[in-house]
Chains A and B, each alone.
Chain A
């Protein structure tokens, strides 16, 4: 079974942030999405989890057409697809402890009672590399890398199958970046997750993704196996991108 997303003729506001985009992501796959700032990567990611309404096109989740789903219909599906954002400093409710933020999704969806929710959260701390100590703290007392781990754990509480990672590590130190990427890779295997990994860092995308989609001015200009995009980019923009990243090594 494959998980297929199809969307085309997408439009946001009057300027077309995303247009004529069509692609699918296979189960268990990591699709890397790369492009310059303002090319519509983030808009696309929000369209895919239906945080933004789109004008035209279709969206499938596990063979179900969810294009016309209302917020109410979407509610049970929210557990299956999650999104993780870029900014760790504003990712969590500033006045809730980490524990409150972590149990919130389970209580909101009435999956478990409070006691079971806490147990489930405890089970998820190890895979994301956190310990219990952090649970009683507030977000401003916790480092950016830890926040991203908390956010990942929070998404995992609902046992999702698909996670959009919108530049999850771009605001972190390089050393912490590597750790968070490791966590993401480990849990992908452990929980059988499908990723859409958005970034403007080609090295990073190439490292985590099976396939890479290159986005430019709202369109996907190239979509192929990671190695192929990296070694023999076809579209002029991808070539520019790859050359720019290679620039450090070859041009000097």
Chain B
């Protein structure tokens, strides 16, 4: 418990608020089947565009579906997909970045060229091009997101590895007889866990935003899937008269990416002071 309190303290007030927001959003998404008052996909044309009331907390949409229920379900696919995409990106980035940074030479030149090309491409347009070519759906969105974000990850990992490679404990373990594999797994990767965790959180936030964008553009998740991005798009024709239809899912997207980004920032600060203190002590 003391460790937890220390951890929360080091995150600062914004970090703690962000964690609370994230827990609420994740929890409600997870518990949606039990919390939702209605089936999110049940269409009742007689009740279409109902106003906010005790019966429908956030009213109903153009097909008479309960907006609050859809909102609860709306994060599930995006968050799961964002997690999957970020894990995949991280694995690719970790492998490419580590090998390029550690071995250097032609391997580094080749991967750097690739990274530069992918970083030079405009992210969203490229993503739309891939998702559009492959056709809308979860799989194509996954591919589009991974293809457009592995380069950033690799670049950061490469930089970290190059920094660690110069430390004398790397030469030390090599002299003791640790081979490259041993050195990488036992020495290089554990010493960049901090930056990786930070990068991981920041990336998830960005990926959730990208998923919402793609879904809004009609290239991501397809209606009738209850999803925040899809809901924003569905509500677009009516938002002048029924602005809460667009506000509710929009707010959810904004809140979750804001919270995750703040956690990433707070985590970075918390980890930075730690390393600074360690440096100061030694």
Residues in A lying within 8 Å of B, measured CB to CB: 46, 49, 51, 71, 74-75, 78-79, 82-83, 85-87, 89-95, 104-105, 108-109, 139-142, 144, 151, 154, 158
- B175 & A89 in contact (Cβ 8 Å cutoff): no
How far apart sit A93 and B176, CA to CA, in the bound complex (Å)? Answer: 13
Closest CB in chain B relative to A151 CB, distance in Å: 7
- A92 & B176 in contact (Cβ 8 Å cutoff): no
Contact of A109 among B173, B174, B177, B282 (CB under 8 A): B177
Contact of B178 among A85, A86, A91, A108 (CB under 8 A): A108
B241 beta carbon closer than 8 Å to chain A: no
- B278 & A94 in contact (Cβ 8 Å cutoff): yes
Q: Whose C-beta in chain A lies nearest to the C-beta of B170?
A: A90
Closest CB in chain B relative to A54 CB, distance in Å: 16
Give the chain A neighbours of B169 by CB distance below 8 A: 90-94
Give the chain A neighbours of B223 by CB distance below 8 A: none
- A140 & B278 in contact (Cβ 8 Å cutoff): yes
Contact of A85 among B171, B186, B279 (CB under 8 A): B171
Interface positions of B from 53 to 95, Cβ below 8 Å from A: none
B135 beta carbon closer than 8 Å to chain A: no
Q: Which 7 A-B pairs have the closest CB atoms?
A: A78-B177, A140-B278, A140-B282, A90-B167, A85-B168, A83-B175, A105-B176
Closest CB in chain A relative to B222 CB, distance in Å: 46
Closest CB in chain B relative to A60 CB, distance in Å: 18
B182 beta carbon closer than 8 Å to chain A: yes
- A75 & B177 in contact (Cβ 8 Å cutoff): yes
B200 beta carbon closer than 8 Å to chain A: no
Q: Whose C-beta in chain A lies nearest to the C-beta of B182?
A: A108
Q: What bracket does the count of chain B residues touching chain A fall in? A: 20 to 34
B225 beta carbon closer than 8 Å to chain A: no
Chain B window 189-229, contacts with chain A (Cβ cutoff 8 Å), 1 for yes, 0 for no = 01100000000000000000000000000000000000000
Known: A91-B172, A144-B282. 8 other contacts (CB 8 A): A51-B175, A74-B177, A78-B176, A87-B168, A89-B282, A108-B178, A109-B177, A139-B282
Contact of A108 among B171, B176, B191 (CB under 8 A): B176
How far apart sit A79 and B178, CA to CA, in the bound complex (Å)? Answer: 11
- B176 & A82 in contact (Cβ 8 Å cutoff): yes
How far apart sit A109 and B178, CA to CA, in the bound complex (Å)? Answer: 9
Q: List 24 A-B contacts (CB under 8 A).
A: A51-B171, A51-B175, A75-B177, A79-B177, A82-B175, A82-B176, A85-B168, A85-B171, A85-B172, A87-B168, A90-B167, A90-B169, A91-B172, A92-B169, A93-B169, A95-B191, A105-B177, A108-B176, A108-B182, A139-B282, A140-B282, A141-B282, A142-B282, A154-B176
Chain B facing A: main interface SS = helix
Residues in B lying within 8 Å of A, measured CB to CB: 167-169, 171-179, 182, 186-187, 190-191, 278-279, 281-282
Q: Whose C-beta in chain B lies nearest to the C-beta of A157?
A: B176
Q: Whose C-beta in chain B lies nearest to the C-beta of A86?
A: B168
Give the chain B neighbours of A95 by CB distance below 8 A: 190-191
How far apart sit A3 and B177, CA to CA, in the bound complex (Å)? Answer: 21
How far apart sit A75 and B180, CA to CA, in the bound complex (Å)? Answer: 12
Give the chain A neighbours of B168 by CB distance below 8 A: 85-87, 90-91
Closest CB in chain A relative to B103 CB, distance in Å: 14
- A78 & B175 in contact (Cβ 8 Å cutoff): yes
How far apart sit A127 and B191, CA to CA, in the bound complex (Å)? Answer: 31
Closest CB in chain A relative to B163 CB, distance in Å: 11
A151 and B177 contact, Cβ closer than 8 Å, known pairs A93-B187, A140-B281, A140-B282? no
Give the chain A neighbours of B187 by CB distance below 8 A: 93
How far apart sit A151 and B173, CA to CA, in the bound complex (Å)? Answer: 11
Give the chain A neighbours of B174 by CB distance below 8 A: 51
Closest CB in chain B relative to A96 CB, distance in Å: 9
- A151 & B176 in contact (Cβ 8 Å cutoff): no
A49 and B175 contact, Cβ closer than 8 Å, known pairs A93-B169, A94-B191? yes
How far apart sit A46 and B172, CA to CA, in the bound complex (Å)? Answer: 11
Give the chain B neighbours of A51 by CB distance below 8 A: 171, 174-175
How far apart sit A105 and B169, CA to CA, in the bound complex (Å)? Answer: 13
Q: Whose C-beta in chain A lies nearest to the C-beta of B174?
A: A51
Give the chain B neighbours of A91 by CB distance below 8 A: 168-169, 172
